[in-house]
Chains A and B, each alone.
Chain A
Amino acid sequence: MGGQERTNGTAVIDAARFARLFASSADEERPVVIRAVDVKKTYLKGTQETRALRGATLDIFKGEYLSIMGPSGSGKTTLFNMIGALQKPTSGKVYIDQVDIAQLDHNELAWLRCRKIGYIFQTFNLIQVMTCLENVMLPMSFAGMESEAAREKAIQILKMVGLAHRVLHKPAELSGGQQQRVAIARSLANSPEIVLADEPTANLDQATGTEMIELLAELKQRLGVTVIAATHDLKMLQKSDRILWIEDGRIVKSAAPSELDFGGEEFK
């Protein structure tokens, strides 16, 4: 396998092997940043089989703001995990930036998560024992950035999300909205191509949630990242470029918000 570990604590990713895993990149007008092809995922609990995904196929384009929605048990979570390189599919292929993730070992997956994808969670998931600055610097140290450069960059990003005055506070000292801002800042630490947001506004009140959505949209515009969100939040759906509707393990609809009639209801 490509990933070996040396005794001085570094992991070496074999770049040659990485290159071989790249599908040939056709020059498309709209470059595809994530592609899923007939992805299936089956969980085995004892003798009981749960077919969470029954063949999902989708393309996600660079710079898109995509929302995925669906009822509980629809496979939304599983699909989200697949395209976020958090799980491997049982069958089918997932290409992230043209790399088939099923071929990667755990070190290479770690590299992918470190450099290519930023994560935002419903429960913020900040490391409580570290300050905001340290939280944002953490992924940078995993990427091997020097601590001085990391500190500078982290401060820049925290400024961007409007938290320059709180960099040395611990998460427990911040409000929900502020914690989510830190989480957003952290997700951008290594300048990823993709930001994955898992119900980012679910734990925030209306007003704060709206701020967060605005912020994400603005950052997306400024930095050119692809934002993929799993969400029920109406305002967030309306702000998206495209919405995917998933039901019963399959993608049943893909449309722009303008094409859908929301009718003021929230889908659960």
Chain B
Amino acid sequence: MIQEQVRLPVRVAFEVVMQGIRIRFGRSLVTIMGVMLGIAFLMSILTGQALRRGVSEEERQRIEVGRMADFLAAEMGPPAGRTIGLIVTGPMSDSLEERLLRLLENRGVAAVNWAGYGGASLPPTVFTRARVENQPLQRVADSASAVLVMGAGEVPAVDWDGMLAQARQRVVAVTRRRQVSGTGATVVNLERELQPEELDRVHAAARRERYRGQWIVTVSLLVTLIGIANAMLMSVTERFREIGTMKCLGALSAFVRLMFLIESGFMGIVGGVSGCALGFLFSFAAYAVTYGLVLTLVSLAGQIGWLLGYMGVALLAGVVLSVIAAIYPAGIASRMVPADALRSNV
């Protein structure tokens, strides 16, 4: 059986579409801008959400660290001029533990005796002004007003009372809600658990935020979709003669449909990329102006994973929306009867 084939030359479709876009640059630009604005809006909302998360997280940590320092001060007295002992049991958390140490230094801690436990060490950048000395574990508490236990490792098995014999005050403060037993000294847990009501409040706020964002974004994407569909429909209508001619030359209906989908997809990519960049920059600038460049950059760094994900989503949305918007117009074009498409007079 000999099979005849009418080829669907995809490369030809591409070339015709690209040249067409170049020739009809003004019209294409308007459509691309439509996509760009829709995607920019989406991206700016998402970026705003991420940055807001970053900023409020930053705030929360700052407040929490302050509270911890105040709590400690209630036990050991004002830190100005004092010595503290520090046992590092493992990698330190830079959001709470390191920040607490820096805050204590800011409030006047003069000397730090530190010991590493289980191979851990103190990050060199934590203290900049206080006198920092590495001591063996038994000597950490000498002249100290308090001994802090920080880091991701286990609480050391040590003779606390022996160690604290040389301390100025017998106060042991732990982070990460650890337990210290076998000592008559005052043991304080610096971190506290969030109350259930607090947790609920935080989650509820996040939920509200999300819903509001979703609603706005959905509406704006619908507007973008309709805008593109409209532009494509106009494009089909004004190119009816070209479509009819193509069909006379042997183009399959599927070829005509493909041409319009490619055109739309291309505009979706261009609009999506530019919209993504625009939306991100806009939101970033707004936050930098409100909260300061430093804070915004910090929260950006913290949210970078989310932001990259959002960019992917925005770009995908641009392309997908454009192609969906073109389905109906492309169908119209593909179903055109050449005769209708060609005659302009009787």
Q: Which A residues form the contact surface with B (CB < 8 A)?
A: 5, 9-16, 18, 72-73, 77, 81, 86-87, 106-107, 110-111, 113-115, 117, 119, 121, 123, 125, 127-130, 138-139, 141-144, 186, 189-190, 198
Contact = CB atoms under 8 A, between A and B. Distances in A.
A110 B337 contact: no
Interface of B: 1-10, 12, 16, 19-20, 22-23, 241-242, 244-255, 337-339, 342-344, 346
B67 to A, nearest CB: 63
Contact of B245 (A15, A77, A81, A125): A125
B16 A130 contact: yes
B6 A143 contact: yes
B125 to A, nearest CB: 59
Nearest to B3: A12
B27 to A, nearest CB: 13
A163 to B, nearest CB: 18
Contacts of B8: 9-11
A13 B9 contact: no
Contacts of A13: 3-6
Contacts of B23: 128-129
Contacts of A114: 6, 249-250
Contacts of B9: 141-142
Nearest to A105: B253
Contacts of B255: 142
A18 B4 CA distance: 10
A87 B343 CA distance: 12
A77 B5 contact: no
Contacts of A15: 1-4
Nearest to A82: B339
B248 A12 contact: no
B228 to A, nearest CB: 22
A86 B342 CA distance: 10
A129 B16 contact: yes
A14 B24 CA distance: 39
B19 A130 contact: yes
- The 6 A-B pairs at the shortest CB distance, nearest first, are namely A114-B250, A9-B8, A142-B250, A129-B19, A86-B339, A81-B339
